[in-house]
Amino acid sequence: MSTAPPSPQHGEGFSAMIRAEIKPGRMDEFLSLFYAGTEKLSQEPECLSFEVFRSKSEPNKLMWIESWSKGMEWFMEHQMSKDYMKELHQATKDLCAGEQQVEIYERFGGPWAKAREAMYEQFPSA
């Protein structure tokens, strides 16, 4: 049995878990707009990963997790101020039923971050 690495010291990067409920009948419209914005977001050099999930029990509820190599202060100053981020928020806000819930997590990274090589190509969704 291998020994777990120690808990890391506070790092600069973070991960955000965002939850949103989409208004009934508006999911396709939301996803179309959201995908266009996230294509740009995921190409940012500081974006380490981005993935979207849908609730099995409540199909109008989405969650996405994005991980960044820079800190929250950088994100708010440099990333959230980009035109495409503002446009994405403006285009999708009325498609959501209520406010998005955001939780911020400190990334452990290093030996605590694992993914299969090319996992998204090898194991696409159905």
Query: Domain locations in the chain?
Result: 14-122
- Give the integer Cα–Cα distance in Å for 88 and 105: 23
pLDDT at position 125 is: 63
- For the whole model, what pTM was predicted? 0.83
Q: Where are the beta strands (DSSP E) in the chain?
A: 14-21, 47-54, 61-68, 101-106
pLDDT at position 90 is: 93
In this predicted structure, the answer to whether residue 120 has a pLDDT above a threshold of 70 is no
Least confident of 4-13, 20-29, 79-88: 4-13
In this predicted structure, the answer to whether residue 117 has a pLDDT above a threshold of 60 is yes
pLDDT at position 1 is: 66
CATH 3.30.70.100 at 14-122, yes or no: yes
